[in-house]
Amino acid sequence: MNELDALVDSARASFAQAATPADLENAKAQYLGKAGRITELMKGMAALSVDEKKTRGAAINQAKQAIEAALNARRQALADAELEAQLKAEALDVSLPGRQRGQGGLHPVSLTMERIEQIFGSMGFEVAQGPEIETDWFNFTALNTPEDHPARSMHDTFYVEGGYLLRTHTSPMQIRHAVQHVKKYQARLDAGQGMSEIRVIAPGRTYRVDSDATHSPMFHQCEGLWIGENVSFKDLKVVFTDFCRSFFESEDLVLRFRPSFFPFTEPSAEIDIQFQTGPLAGRWLEVAGSGQVHPQVVRNMGLDPERFIGFAFGMGPDRLTMLRYGVNDLRLFFDGDIRFLSQFQ
């Protein structure tokens, strides 16, 4: 092998050994740099004759081109390898499942509230809202429950400074709403004319000192009130039976009105329901308190109890939600556990 072929071979070998572009540029300098082997060989031609220069020059040039070709090939190979490594490092696993964006939804008790409003709305009931911080008058006294009444002890609650309390039921809304309604019609009533009936539900939060699997210190109620000149217990039965059958989507649901006591209704009844099929079939389940509005309460609404009469009921949307979805611990509604709540979306 002549000297020039050996030089090309050695250049190829050292380029092949260069593992990085920087190594390769160093190796290049040894062969093609200003003080490299090729330059050296060119300088060595000075003493040659013109003919010799021609052949020698051509041979050196060929060697130089071969070395440059080897250099470019190696440059390309290193660049390809670098790109491949980079692509590998940034690779996306397109088979990975995507990150889910959590979808919000309504709380099961809110779903029940909406359902109650929708069903009673279809029966011509307005929806009213009132304060959770109440006065003694609206929560008790106006509802025929004077200060020394024993029924108050069943409604122990949270008292707020200034004589206020957290309402123990939604019944104060009977008075608040009726008083507003009567005000609107006062002139007509004073003239001995009539007024449109009061037909309202009042859903909302209520509070009592109570805490176990079926009682929470904060819970929900929905009040119902229908007052007119000829509204009877029969209407209560029809309205509430219709409501329960719509709410539970069950035509063969039966209701029982069990005699009870509330200071603000007379007579009073607990309303129990019984499913004929399904996991709860055959059991009586209490869902509401109810009764004919007491004459004293009608008077406190600003109406003449000799002329106006009606009924009221108060039900527990938390309990209705438990029955509808088969939830057995009330506390699940207030824990905020997404595994529980997401089942209602």
Least Å distance, CB 196 to ligand PHE, is 21
Rounded CA-CA distance 179/301 in Å is 5
Rounded CA-CA distance 285/247 in Å is 15
Least Å distance, CB 287 to ligand PHE, is 11
- Is 6 exposed, middle or buried, given 0-12, 13-18 or 19+ CB atoms closer than 10 A? exposed
Rounded CA-CA distance 215/30 in Å is 89
Return the DSSP state at 327. -
Q: Which residue has the tokens 């929708």?
A: 118
Least Å distance, CB 212 to ligand PHE, is 17
Least Å distance, CB 305 to ligand PHE, is 16
The residues that touch ligand PHE, with contacts defined as CB under 6 A, are: 169, 171, 262, 265, 289-291, 312-314
Other beta carbons within 10 angstroms of residue 108's beta carbon come to: 21
Q: At what angle do helices 21-32 and 50-89 cross, to 10 degrees?
A: 180
Which residue has the CB atom at the shortest distance from ligand PHE? 314
Least Å distance, CB 284 to ligand PHE, is 17
Least Å distance, CB 338 to ligand PHE, is 31
- Tell me whether residue 108 or residue 289 sits nearer to ligand PHE (CB atom): 289
- Tell me whether residue 313 or residue 333 sits nearer to ligand PHE (CB atom): 313
Name the token pair of 299. 């008077």
- Tell me whether residue 204 or residue 291 sits nearer to ligand PHE (CB atom): 291
Q: Is 94 helix (H, G, I), strand (E, B) or coil?
A: coil
Which residues face 268 on adjacent strands?
Answer: 260, 291
Rounded CA-CA distance 109/317 in Å is 7
Residue type, 246: S
- Tell me whether residue 239 or residue 312 sits nearer to ligand PHE (CB atom): 312
- Tell me whether residue 14 or residue 290 sits nearer to ligand PHE (CB atom): 290
Return the DSSP state at 212. B
- Tell me whether residue 157 or residue 290 sits nearer to ligand PHE (CB atom): 290
